[in-house]
Amino acid sequence: MFLASTAATEAAFDFKSIKELMDGFDPAALLPEVDTIVGKVQLVCSLAILAAPVIMLLMGLAYLLFAPKEANYYFGYRTAFGMGSVSAWRHTQRVAGLVFGGLGLILTILMLMILLTFSGREAMDMVWLAVKCLLWEGALGLAAILSINSLAMYTYDYNGNRRRKTKKRKA
């Protein structure tokens, strides 16, 4: 028992029994091994880094191979300038497939090369490198979306008619 009663009926700790109980206890045994923690950090960082490029690659292939023939609101790369006509829709799907597929392939290869350097790094170095990679992936994804939308807007008007290129007059 941890508490022993004294003559004055006050409770006092029985330090001898607590010491006997704690002699065989090692609090470090409750903690997981450091190599398993680093392995889990490496796995989480690897999955986080590879998720966006692989999704971009799959989206690019889907836009190239499985895009519907006509504009719809369910599947495909939808932009106001690309949904005006069938030719605008097909052109936008082809461009989106090429941009996302190419960017996804390049980023997948680059991220796999970065992942090869993870084995010799500390856990926090891996985390910060993963954060930097995620920021770059996000910025490049945003640039891809802006470029596809700009190209659709430059090529087609809001009704889906191809914009006419004006020829310069010679003076």
Residue 12 is inside which H or E element, if any?
strand 11-13
Cα–Cα distance, 110 to 130 (Å, whole number): 13
Mean pLDDT, rounded, for 94-114 = 96
pLDDT for 1 equals 47
* pLDDT over 60 at 169, yes or no: yes
User: Percent of the chain having pLDDT more than 70?
Assistant: 81
pLDDT for 29 equals 64
Cα–Cα distance, 71 to 97 (Å, whole number): 15
User: Percent of the chain having pLDDT more than 90?
Assistant: 47
Q: What is the pTM of this model?
A: 0.72
Lowest mean per-residue pLDDT among 22-36, 43-57, 111-125? 22-36
Q: Report pLDDT digits (tens) over 138-156.
A: 999 999 999 999 999 999 9
Q: Report pLDDT digits (tens) over 51-75.
A: 999 999 999 999 999 988 888 888 8
Long-range Cβ pairs for the range 106-114 (8 Å, 24+): 107/52, 107/53, 107/56, 107/137, 107/140, 108/50, 108/53, 108/54, 108/57, 110/53, 111/49, 111/50, 111/53, 111/137, 112/50, 114/49
pLDDT for 100 equals 96
Bigger pLDDT: 13 vs 52: 52
